[in-house]
Amino acid sequence: MVDRVDGRKNPDDDHCHPGCRMIHCLPSETLVQIFEFAVDSDSDPWGFVIPSSVTAPLTLTWVCSSWRRTAISYSKLWISISFILHRLSSSCLSEGILDLFIRRSGDRLPFSFALNYEHALESSQAYKPSVDHLDNEKYLDSVNAIARRLIKIRHRWRRLIINVLVLEALEPFFHLLSHSEEVGSGMPMLEELSVSTKYTEFYGSHLTLPLKSCSQLRTVRILTPMVFFDPCHPLLEHLTTLDLHFCNSQQDSIVWLTCCPSLESLAIDFFASTNNNPIATSAEKRIRLPRLTYFSLTCFYGELGAETLLDSLDLPSLRAFDFLRCGLVIASPNDSAWQSIINLLTGRSEGPLPLRGLRLINAPVTSSELKEILERVGGGIRYLALGGEACTDNLLEDFHPIIITESVPGTELELTSRRSEPLCPELETLELLDVNVSLASITSLVSSRAAATPSSLSLPQTANSNLGSGSSFRTLNRLALLSEKFSRCFSDQGSDSPHPLSMKSHFPEGFDVFLL
């Protein structure tokens, strides 16, 4: 008998090699554990099964009839699938395998599905291929065929990850979401939704994401432009992770945030965004996200600094903040974007946020302003990444603890010494990206702040690290550098990145230094 999907003959116990017959004697419970381990080992990094002739669970059905019966009857082996839809090939095989997984996964268990585009698209072409070249109609027909199969089990969706070539290919899946709202069936098990396109456009048609029937969503990732959120949507009270890449406006991001009061992780990338209709940021209009601990904000091109969004947020539990601004950045004395960042991090009546991680790359700020913000919020920072013109040799000197000598009260002869608290006294990891500082300043900082080891105590002291052998503020254990200037200083540029630097003589033995 031949399997109609993969063309393999069904196994026959009567023709098994004698040495393999003992596998038929394993109890079903043991087989199930083996099968689960095999599926986990063959899954992709996101936990999805990639069906092929060399991966489980399909291969498990070809060993012998007892394994086949066990594998087919154990529904948990078939509850996820990920495959690539080729743009010019027939989708019949993909549809057949999808039907097979849906059928064998049963009727009740949650089902997870990931669709990816063909990776071997002519990489030499920097532009979007023509419609004829992509065979757009055939590709969209294949996507629609898959969507029609998935709609039958929409009540079982747990994770839905759709990576397609063009925005049009997302329409059938968005139609499924809106259709579920109309018929009232809903998707009560859907916890994760991620959509993206290979080719991006910032004009023309757009899609509105309907999520009224997805009451249990915990993660949403919108990794393509021209996808907007329905402002009439009720609260997504279970949503904890939100990624908005290529966000077109601050208003759209604010609409999202007003519906997600339980967020814990937030990433927003503004790309050619606009702010035509500013939103009030009074105390009554502020968006309070009491559980948010991680916030990443990236502004690509233009002069917009996301002031409206920043001024709208109240993040009392924030522990890590990433800010990246691309394009030409000129620090001005009254830059509203930088003032909004200061207000976000320090403008709370309860005091500055207890940050543990801070990343400021190309922020619109002067060196003195950067020092001020680090003085105010850097007390508990373990991870710090700096980039841009604001990071200077003088700023790095402020990371050195300085010995201060004072007279003992009531005497004139006896003296005592103490170390002044440097910037970020608990710093463990420092990353410097395209900064205009000297290698001498970096090695001096490491000498004064590197975590104490026998080798670091014997390292020659520099003029700026006169600290003796004590371990005060010696918490730094990792340094990463990204700069063409630094890459020329080291000889192992041909190895994979990131890689350890070769000039270890500049740093204490055992100290981790990487060139990114």
What is the reported pLDDT for 332?
Answer: 53
Q: What's the CA gap between 57 and 40, in Å, rounded?
A: 10
What is the reported pLDDT for 488?
Answer: 61
In the predicted model, is pLDDT for residue 67 greater than 60? Answer: yes
Query: 39, 122, 28: which is closest to 78 by C-alpha?
Result: 39
In the predicted model, is pLDDT for residue 282 greater than 60? Answer: no
User: What would the two tokens of residue 430 be?
Assistant: 């420092």
Cα distances from 185 to residues 49, 59, 155, 188, 235, in angstroms, run: 27, 36, 7, 9, 19
More confident residue, 88 or 317: 317
Q: Looking at residues 287-312, what average pLDDT do you find?
A: 85
Degrees, nearest 5: CA angle 254-256-260: 115
User: What would the two tokens of residue 388 be?
Assistant: 């841009």
What is the DSSP annotation of 300-348? ESSS---HHHHHHEE-TT--EEEEEE-S-----TT-HHHHHHHHHHH--
What is the reported pLDDT for 36?
Answer: 93
In the predicted model, is pLDDT for residue 37 greater than 50? Answer: yes
Global model pTM greater than 0.85: no
What is the reported pLDDT for 514?
Answer: 82
Q: What's the CA gap between 184 and 196, in Å, rounded?
A: 27
What is the reported pLDDT for 461?
Answer: 46
Express as a percent the part of the chain with pLDDT over 90: 35
Residue 316: asked if its preceding bond is cis (omega within 30°), the reply is no
Radius of gyration of the chain (CA): 29
What is the reported pLDDT for 407?
Answer: 60
What is the reported pLDDT for 278?
Answer: 47
SS3 content of the chain, % helix, strand, coil (to 5): 30, 25, 45
In the predicted model, is pLDDT for residue 487 greater than 70? Answer: no
CB contact at 8 A, 125 and 158: no
User: What would the two tokens of residue 216 be?
Assistant: 């249990």
Mean model confidence pLDDT for the chain = 79
Q: What's the CA gap between 149 and 128, in Å, rounded?
A: 29
285: helix, strand or coil: helix
pLDDT in tens, 307-335: 889 999 999 999 999 999 886 555 554 56
In the predicted model, is pLDDT for residue 287 greater than 90? Answer: yes
pLDDT level of residue 401 (50, 70, 90 thresholds): confident
Q: Which residues are paired to 229 by β-bridges?
A: 209
In the predicted model, is pLDDT for residue 277 greater than 70? Answer: no
What is the reported pLDDT for 280?
Answer: 45
Residue in the structure block whose two tokens are 């010995």: 403
What is the DSSP annotation of 12-35? -GGGS-GGGGGGGGS-HHHHHHHH
Q: Give CA torsion, residues 372, 377, 382, 386, to 10 deg.
A: -40
Query: 8, 106, 14, 89: which is closest to 51 by C-alpha?
Result: 8
Express as a percent the part of the chain with pLDDT over 70: 71
Q: What are phi and psi of 258, to 5 degrees?
A: -65, -20
Instruction: Work out the burial of residue 163: count CB atoms within 10 Å of its CB; fewer than 13 is exposed, 13-18 middle, 19 or more buried.
Output: buried
pLDDT level of residue 490 (50, 70, 90 thresholds): low
More confident residue, 485 or 61: 61
What is the reported pLDDT for 459?
Answer: 46
Q: Looking at residues 210-227, what average pLDDT do you find?
A: 89
What is the reported pLDDT for 321?
Answer: 97
pLDDT in tens, 220-238: 999 988 888 877 777 899 9
pLDDT level of residue 6 (50, 70, 90 thresholds): low
User: What would the two tokens of residue 362 be?
Assistant: 């190309």
pLDDT level of residue 498 (50, 70, 90 thresholds): low
User: How crowded is residue 198: how many other Cβ atoms within 10 Å of its Cβ?
Assistant: 16
In the predicted model, is pLDDT for residue 101 greater than 50? Answer: yes
What is the reported pLDDT for 470?
Answer: 45
Q: What's the CA gap between 111 and 107, in Å, rounded?
A: 10
Q: Looking at residues 383-404, what average pLDDT do you find?
A: 90
Q: What are phi and psi of 59, to 5 degrees?
A: -65, -25
CB contact at 8 A, 268 and 299: no
Q: What's the CA gap between 164 and 351, in Å, rounded?
A: 46
Amino acid at 461: Q
Q: What are phi and psi of 40, to 5 degrees?
A: -60, -40
pLDDT in tens, 146-193: 998 998 898 999 999 999 888 888 998 888 787 655 545 678 899 999
Q: What's the CA gap between 470 and 477, in Å, rounded?
A: 16
Q: Looking at residues 420-432, what average pLDDT do you find?
A: 93
What is the DSSP annotation of 420-484? PP-SSTT--EEEEEEE---HHHHHHHHHHHBPP-HHHHTSPP-TT---TT--TT--B-EEEEE-H
In the predicted model, is pLDDT for residue 491 greater than 90? Answer: no
User: What would the two tokens of residue 510 be?
Assistant: 């055992």
Cα distances from 338 to residues 150, 322, 436, in angstroms, run: 47, 13, 20
User: What would the two tokens of residue 210 be?
Assistant: 């309907």
Degrees, nearest 5: CA angle 300-429-369: 55
Range of weakest confidence among 158-167, 171-180, 270-279, 352-361 = 270-279
Cα distances from 142 to residues 93, 149, 358, in angstroms, run: 11, 11, 45
- DSSP summary character for residue 370: H
Cα distances from 409 to residues 421, 449, 478, in angstroms, run: 22, 30, 40
